Amino acid sequence: MTKIFTISNNTIEMEKIKEAAQIILNNGIVAFPTETVYGLGANGLEEDAIKKIFIAKGRPSDNPLILHISSLDMLNMLVDEIPHKAGLLTEKFWPGPLTLVFKKSKLVPNCITAGLDTVAIRMPSNPIALSLIRETNVPIAAPSANISGRPSTTKAEHVIEDLYGKVEAIIVSDDSTIGLESTVLDVTEDIPILLRPGKITVEQLERIVGQVQVDQGIYHQSEVGKVKSPGMKYKHYAPKAPVKIFKGNIEQVIQKINTLSKDYQRQGKIVGVLATDESKDRYKADKIISMGERLKPKSIMAKLFDCLREFDKHHVDIILSEGFSDKGIELAISNRLNKAAGFNITIVGPNVTTSNLLS
Binding residue (CB under 6 A) for ligand TXA from 29, 86, 138, 184: 184
Residue 193 in contact with residue 215, Cβ under 8 Å? Answer: yes
Residue (184 or 257) nearer to ligand TXA, CB: 184
End-to-end Cα distance, the chain? 46
> Please, what is the minimum distance in Å from the beta carbon of residue 138 to ligand TXA?
16
Closest by alpha carbon to 229, among 179, 188, 191, 194?
A: 194
Sheet holding 287-290, edge to edge: 287-290, 271-275, 318-322, 243-248, 345-348
Q: How many angstroms separate the CA atoms of 212 and 241, rounded?
A: 35
Binding residue (CB under 6 A) for ligand TXA from 142, 289, 300, 337: 142
Binding residue (CB under 6 A) for ligand TXA from 230, 242, 328, 342: 230
Residue (250 or 331) nearer to ligand TXA, CB: 331
Q: How many angstroms separate the CA atoms of 72 and 75, rounded?
A: 5
123 scored as a contact of ligand TXA (CB under 6 A)? no
Binding residue (CB under 6 A) for ligand TXA from 25, 88, 116, 270: 116
Closest by alpha carbon to 2, among 146, 129, 143, 170?
A: 170
Q: How many angstroms separate the CA atoms of 36 and 304, rounded?
A: 12
Binding residue (CB under 5 A) for Mg ion from 34, 144, 177, 335: 144
> Please, what is the minimum distance in Å from the beta carbon of residue 67 to ligand TXA?
9
34 scored as a contact of Mg ion (CB under 5 A)? no
Q: Which does 243 bind (CB under 5 to 8 A by kind): Mg ion, ligand TXA, none?
A: none
Displacement of CA 313 from its chain's centroid (Å): 21
> Please, what is the minimum distance in Å from the beta carbon of residue 237 to Mg ion?
8
Q: How many CB atoms lie within 10 A of CB 48?
A: 10
- For ligand TXA, which residue has the nearest CB? 231
42 scored as a contact of ligand TXA (CB under 6 A)? no
Q: Which residues are near ligand TXA by CB under 6 A?
A: 34, 36-37, 39, 63-66, 99, 101, 113, 116, 118-120, 122, 124, 142-144, 181-182, 184, 195-196, 229-231
